[in-house]
Chains A and B, each alone.
Chain A
Amino acid sequence: MLTRWLVAAVALFLLSAAQAQQRTLPSNVLRSGIEFAGADVRSMQSDDLANPGFLWVERGEKLWNEAAGGSSCASCHRDASASMRGVAARYPAFDAASGKVLDLEARINDCRVHRQRQNALARESDDLLGLTVYVALQSRGLAMAPRIDGPAAAAFDRGRAFYSQRHGQMNLSCAQCHDQNWGKRLYAEMLSQGHGNAFPAYKLEWQTLGSLQRRIRACLFGIRAEMPPAGAPELTDLELFLAWRAQGLPLEAPGVRR
């Protein structure tokens, strides 16, 4: 009798452990942010010339092939369309050398500093956005598939905690809008599910391309919460959680958003 209870308890524990990594949104309701956008924004994103993000893609492509400190990205990685395909879909990812989870921007800067021996590019600079979006474009259409096990697990858990924790004067968590109320109106806006699969994206409000971190900071500003500085580990952790939460959605970078 006792063993049967024990088996049941262990089974229950294992089940709840498995449930701990269950998606916050089941895959059958998963919707990219573009589905919440109007027809004008959708057509802008789907047309590669009308999409202003491609101005940054071209800049990134030029930088990719331009030597910085004796070597260019292309000197090692060659043709980005082959070597970078699928890379953005796996980011943020754990980097063994630095022992940290890095997002794509941080990974590119890490390469610049340690391989090319150049200064790191500033977050939200046109050069860093250009390189990031150029690399991300090579994975367009591929499903988001970050790794959250092994050394990335701690960062993932911190990201998940940040997501479900209430922040700021409005005392709101990310989940309250993006898990529980997506599809409803918040003034003139429709609440999306809060996926980052289109970033770096051209925000019409910003009149420029911006990173996912900038978008997250804007959300935190909106709920009157403290904004971690660009590149802060909290933001990278949250990016990892968001990437996992959006797993299965196709990458859209460069996306267009209102």
Chain B
Amino acid sequence: MADSRIIVPPTSRRDEAIEVRISIRHGMETGYRTDENGKPVPRNVIRSFACRYNGEPVFAVRMTSGIAANPYLRFFVTARESGTLDFEWIDDAGARGTAQAPVKVA
């Protein structure tokens, strides 16, 4: 569940809007499919995703079955000070994933 890839600019200026990009490996099972035996495959999507910047929430998403597998998110955060971005997400099966990325303000 921990598979993810993040890109944050290596350094940024104070009060600059920095682009944060994250791609998470997840099947995002819609719940609408059936397996080979005709049994429905239970829905399992990343239910919620949140990003904290030095502990403070800066971005959050609630996702549903309309999001494709391996979601790719791109958003902007204002670089106030050096620190870390903490990403956390949880899926319908209760599996939790986390990732971190440093922010360097020059």
- Which A residues are closer than 8 A to B by beta carbons? 49-50, 52, 54-55, 58-59, 204, 207-208
Chain B residue contacts of A207, Cβ below 8 A: 27-28, 68-70
Check if A59 sits within 8 Å of B72, measured CB to CB.
no
Chain B residue contacts of A52, Cβ below 8 A: 23, 25, 69-70, 72
Enumerate 24 A-B pairs (CB-CB under 8 Å) in ascending A order.
Answer: A49-B5, A49-B7, A49-B21, A49-B23, A49-B72, A50-B21, A50-B72, A52-B25, A52-B69, A52-B72, A54-B5, A55-B3, A55-B5, A55-B25, A55-B70, A58-B3, A58-B5, A59-B3, A204-B68, A207-B27, A207-B70, A208-B27, A208-B69, A208-B70
A217 CB to closest chain B CB (Å) equals 16
Nearest A residue (CB) for B6: A49
What is the CA–CA distance of A52 and B4 in the complex, to the nearest angstrom? 10
Chain B residue contacts of A58, Cβ below 8 A: 3, 5
What is the CA–CA distance of A49 and B73 in the complex, to the nearest angstrom? 10
Chain A residue contacts of B23, Cβ below 8 A: 49-50, 52, 54-55
B94 CB to closest chain A CB (Å) equals 21
B64 CB to closest chain A CB (Å) equals 16
What is the CA–CA distance of A208 and B23 in the complex, to the nearest angstrom? 13
Among A55, A58, A204, find the residue whose CB has the most chain B CB atoms closer than 10 A: A55
A64 CB to closest chain B CB (Å) equals 15
Nearest B residue (CB) for A59: B3
